Amino acid sequence: MRLYNTLTRQEEEFAPLRDETVRMYTCGLTVYARGHIGNFRTFVALDVLRRALEYVAGFRIRQVMNFTDVDDRTIAESRAAGVPLREYTDQYIAAFREDAATLGLEPVEDYPRATDEENLRSMVEMIQALEANGHTYTSDGSIYFKIATLPDYGKLARLDHEGIKPGARIDADRYAKDDARDFVLWKATASDEPTWDFGVGPGRPGWHIECSAMALRLLDGAPIDIHAGGVDLVFPHHENEIAQAEGATGETFSRFWVHVEHLLFGEGVKMSKSLGNVFSVQDVLERGYRASALRYVLLSVHYRKQLRFTWGSLDQAEEALKRLIGCLARLEGIAGGADGQGGQAHPALADRVETARRDFAEKIEQDLNVPGALGVMFELVRHVNTALDDGELGPPDAAVVKTAFDGFDQVLGVMALRRAEDATPAVPVDEIERLIGERRAARARRDFAAADAIRDDLVARGVILEDTPAGTRWSLK
């Protein structure tokens, strides 16, 4: 497995440091609002990374994805809503879990919240270690990291040290690109803000200290194997995480840094809540699109390239998935071998499938080349459809092909999602089957108007009928 490491700006061979277990930290949502599909572009890409490490490379996985449930924005939004912070952020954590399940994300091993007491205590312990190592100072009740004490500060973002403002500091959790200043570790709070005191005075954590502390606490200390998130987090967030963790421990914080590029909307504008051009997963579903099509769009462009989202891209994804699932449905319908080979699969087909499996894995192992892997898969779809048209496949061949596609989907996660959607259509399956039977009876008595009315009613409800020599098949729009 080769991964592009943002720290070194090159692809490198990846393997976990110990026990064949990948210890990976993913920056999750700041839960002041529902996540949008730009956020989920990152989460889907990192879900593919997780699956690739597990099912292609064969490693065990221990992954942590946090919820930032205390920072400037969560405090401001909960105050504006007149709701206690924990209660306010609970609703968006629940929404994330719903959307993640809808998009077929594999659950990770830990979902820590910054405000959990054990995490707050670990943040304070890290701050105390930074104090002991001479990396902090206190002003107006807040504790700051002094970046001048860390000579390699800026190594992830490749900051120009001449542009660093010596002695300047900033209290905001987020700030402008390349605006490198001393940043807050523990923030003095106003009387109406949530406050904790675990040994460094009353206050609350700065945004950056939260992830550093939770990553090391839950992943058994430094160094972890992979730290991942959106490209917008390289600076200041991930740069400051490195400063805190390495300033406290004296060890490398993370061996690899993986960053996912932006999702763009419209005329090349980044999708973000601050710009107001966001769509949630639920917004997409309410427009009549399916979650499997959205997942396909979000993974279809290489994670290190910007992804331009359009509604047309969802239509194209839908057509691609129909072609894929249609091929698999044809395999399901094979009743017997066409060439008298009995229980033996065609050797030529078995070789073709094995080549596709190998090529798919090689694409994935090359820094998650998902577009290349999709090309391999759809070339196999083309070949299988041709063989089916020519009557050349029997049950043993179908089993070989289906096993290969199941392996592809362990990484992609779109076919299983589509099957789950098909298993629970808006029209109950028993009603669909009953109406197909009534339509068949209407056609048998040559009442074509009634048959057409049944078909049109099902189409209007999202169910498409296809008449084949083997009978009528149905699928969802």
Condensed to tens digits (0 to 9), the pLDDT of residues 384-417 reads 999 999 888 888 999 999 999 999 999 999 999 9
Question: Which of these three, 208, 230, 260, is where a domain ends?
Answer: 260
| CATH number for the domain harbouring residue 342 | 1.10.730.10
Query: Does residue 8 sit within a domain?
Result: yes
Query: Does residue 272 sit within a domain?
Result: no
**Whether residue 214 sits in one domain with residue 84:** yes
**Whether residue 286 sits in one domain with residue 237:** no
The two tokens of residue 348 are 């030529």
Q: Which of 47, 43, 93 is nearest to 68 (CA)?
A: 93
pLDDT band at 442 (very low <50, low <70, confident <90, very high): very high
Per-residue pLDDT at 366? 98
**Whether residue 329 sits in one domain with residue 464:** no
Distance, CA of 51 to CA of 58 (rounded, Å) = 9
3-state secondary structure of 239: helix
| CATH number for the domain harbouring residue 125 | 3.40.50.620
Query: Does residue 181 sit within a domain?
Result: yes
**Whether residue 413 sits in one domain with residue 336:** yes
Distance, CA of 221 to CA of 64 (rounded, Å) = 13
**Whether residue 433 sits in one domain with residue 411:** no
The two tokens of residue 304 are 């290190």
Asked if 5 contacts 11 with a C-beta cutoff of 8 angstroms, the reply is yes
Query: Does residue 271 sit within a domain?
Result: no
Distance, CA of 411 to CA of 361 (rounded, Å) = 10
Phi, psi for residue 64 in degrees, rounded to 5: -120, 130
Per-residue pLDDT at 336? 45
Percent of the chain with pLDDT strictly greater than 70: 95
Query: Does residue 90 sit within a domain?
Result: yes
**Whether residue 236 sits in one domain with residue 291:** no
Question: Which of these three, 228, 260, 292, is where a domain ends?
Answer: 260
For the stretch 302-358, pLDDT in tens is: 999 999 999 999 999 999 999 999 999 999 888 444 443 446 668 889 999 999 999
Distance, CA of 61 to CA of 290 (rounded, Å) = 29
Per-residue pLDDT at 339? 43
Residue 454's H or E segment, with its range, is helix 448-460
For 56-78, what is the mean pLDDT? 97
- Burial of 71 by CB count in 10 Å (0-12 exposed, 13-18 middle, 19+ buried)? buried
Phi, psi for residue 291 in degrees, rounded to 5: -60, -35
For the stretch 213-250, pLDDT in tens is: 999 999 999 999 999 999 999 999 999 999 999 999 99
Neighbours of 357 (CB within 10 A): 18
**Whether residue 285 sits in one domain with residue 255:** no
**Whether residue 230 sits in one domain with residue 208:** yes
pLDDT band at 261 (very low <50, low <70, confident <90, very high): very high
Query: Does residue 270 sit within a domain?
Result: no
Domain residues for the domain of 444 are 429-476
Per-residue pLDDT at 477? 66
369-379 per-residue burial string, b: 16 or more CB within 10 A, e: under 16: bbebbbebbee
Distance, CA of 341 to CA of 397 (rounded, Å) = 10
- Is the pLDDT assigned to residue 89 strictly greater than 80? yes
pLDDT band at 191 (very low <50, low <70, confident <90, very high): confident
**Whether residue 80 sits in one domain with residue 42:** yes
- Is the pLDDT assigned to residue 147 strictly greater than 80? yes
CA 441 to chain centre: 47
3-state secondary structure of 371: helix
Per-residue pLDDT at 194? 94
Distance, CA of 191 to CA of 77 (rounded, Å) = 17
Q: Which residue has the higher pLDDT, 210 or 464?
A: 210
What is the domain count for the chain? 3
**Whether residue 221 sits in one domain with residue 330:** no
Round the CA-based radius of gyration of the chain to a whole number and report it.
26
Query: Does residue 219 sit within a domain?
Result: yes
Per-residue pLDDT at 344? 66
Query: Does residue 276 sit within a domain?
Result: no
Distance, CA of 31 to CA of 369 (rounded, Å) = 31
**Whether residue 305 sits in one domain with residue 225:** no
pLDDT band at 267 (very low <50, low <70, confident <90, very high): low
**Whether residue 133 sits in one domain with residue 196:** yes
